[in-house]
Amino acid sequence: TLNGSNNLCLHVFGNEENGQAVVVGMLDNLGKGASGQAVQNLNLMLGVAEDTGLV
């Protein structure tokens, strides 16, 4: 489950007949605005726990 986590679940579905693919992403975005996502990305780039500084 993704509820209450910072995880992202991706699914890729392909159709060989027409050469198309559909990518579906699921996340729990409650309480996450652009600033929270920016802090999470900065944490990942700095190599610290991704939830550092997030409540």
Q: Is the dihedral of CA 51, 35, 55, 2 positive or negative?
A: negative
Residue range 9-43, pLDDT digits in tens: 999 999 999 999 999 998 877 656 777 888 888 99
Q: Is the C-alpha dihedral spanning 30, 35, 53, 41 positive or negative?
A: positive
Long-range contacts: 35-41, Cβ < 8 Å, 24+? 40/6
pLDDT category, 50, cuts 50, 70, 90? confident
